[in-house]
Amino acid sequence: MRRAVGTHGTLHRIEDLQKRHDAKQTLPTLLCDSPGCGASVKFVAEHGYIALTKGAEHQPGCRYNAPAHLQAVLAAGTDPDFLPPLGEGKHELRLLLLQQALKRGGGERQQTDLPLDGYLRTLADLLILRTMCEGDDLLAAQVTLRLGKKKVDWENFFYTQERYDAAWERLGASTTDLPMALVGTVRSHRASQPGTVFLNCAPKYQHTGVTDRRDFYEVSVGHADSAWLQSFPVGAEVVMFGLWRQGKSSTASRPHPTDTRRTITSITHKLALWPSFKRQLALVD
Ligand SMILES: [Zn+2]
């Protein structure tokens, strides 16, 4: 959860709670902000999220009630080709269909491909749900990912900002086109080449342990439709799915601010997505 309400209905976002925590201010009593829920929640500073207090539960219709939502998404999205049931409420999600569609590419004609549109919508719903959970467990217990004959672990498919380096490594190590989902916070929109706009997410800064070396992992989405990318505003959390590409890494050096004998080297690793279908991006909030 990225926000909650105080007992008087004031909205509190994670960023504000973090600031208060850092300034050692008292945190307000927090409740779930989903209409009609009001479950008792708390800010967990170590992990930077809002979670249920011990023993509290979301109401059945609450937007944060992940198990109930998952059942609804699976019931609505069941399709023998894409999301066949495995029994006992479990399902298999076949990524090969999507991989092939993404390789063929989009264009407006295929935007009207109804089964594919349904698959992408179901996947986006599952990914949003996964983003709202604190780990893979709930989804992994109910939905088995499969790419052709191979089972794919959720941890090799879904990456949060803290694991952008793992996503980058996996792309580099793979010879096949692996569909992957990354979640990020929009940092900027930039038109860097004619006809293309990039949506850039807050990067991951990797502590390498090497003195004066900094590694960054940048995640960007490129598309010709600037208005569409702008519809994901700065600060919003987005989930981005598809066939990612490693961009060219760049290295920059600058003098150490206080020690002239030292040079700080920053290496930026890039991950880019060129969506064929607009459903490959979804707003989490
Ligand atoms: Zn709730």
Read off the pLDDT of residues 102-142 as tens digits, 9 standing for 90 and up: 988 765 554 557 788 889 999 999 999 999 888 899 999 99
Whether 231 and 267 map to the same domain: the answer is yes
Inside any domain, residue 109: yes
C-alpha–C-alpha distance, residues 84 and 10, integer Å? 43
Whether 46 and 112 map to the same domain: the answer is no
Whether 256 and 232 map to the same domain: the answer is yes
Quick one: tokens of 277? 């279908």
User: Cα of 2 to ligand 1 centre, how many Å?
Assistant: 12
Name 198's Cβ contacts closer than 8 Å, sequence gap at least 6.
Answer: 189, 190, 191, 192, 220, 221, 222, 229
User: Cα of 136 to ligand 1 centre, how many Å?
Assistant: 20
Inside any domain, residue 58: no
Whether 275 and 168 map to the same domain: the answer is yes
pLDDT the model gives residue 107: 57
How many domains would you assign to the chain?
A: 3
Whether 36 and 79 map to the same domain: the answer is no
**How would you classify residue 12: left for phi > 0, otherwise alpha for psi between -120 and 50, otherwise beta?**
beta
User: Cα of 233 to ligand 1 centre, how many Å?
Assistant: 25
Whether 245 and 152 map to the same domain: the answer is no
Inside any domain, residue 113: yes
Taking 70 as the pLDDT cut, the residues of the chain under it are 106-112
pLDDT the model gives residue 275: 95
Whether 179 and 230 map to the same domain: the answer is yes
Inside any domain, residue 47: yes
Whether 29 and 86 map to the same domain: the answer is no
C-alpha–C-alpha distance, residues 145 and 279, integer Å? 19
The edge-to-edge listing of strands for the beta sheet with 11-13 is 11-13, 3-6, 30-31, 40-44, 49-52
User: Cα of 41 to ligand 1 centre, how many Å?
Assistant: 9
Inside any domain, residue 61: no
C-alpha–C-alpha distance, residues 191 and 230, integer Å? 11
CATH of the domain at 242: 2.40.50
pLDDT the model gives residue 124: 95
Inside any domain, residue 273: yes
Whether 178 and 261 map to the same domain: the answer is yes
User: Cα of 10 to ligand 1 centre, how many Å?
Assistant: 16
Whether 199 and 265 map to the same domain: the answer is yes
Q: Which residues pair with 179 in a beta bridge?
A: 243
| Residue 251 CA from chain centroid, whole number | 26
C-alpha–C-alpha distance, residues 217 and 161, integer Å? 9
Domain span at residue 155 reads: 66-159
Residue that is last in its domain, among 143, 159, 175:
159
Whether 135 and 186 map to the same domain: the answer is no
Inside any domain, residue 187: yes
Whether 171 and 277 map to the same domain: the answer is yes
User: Cα of 175 to ligand 1 centre, how many Å?
Assistant: 42
Inside any domain, residue 60: no
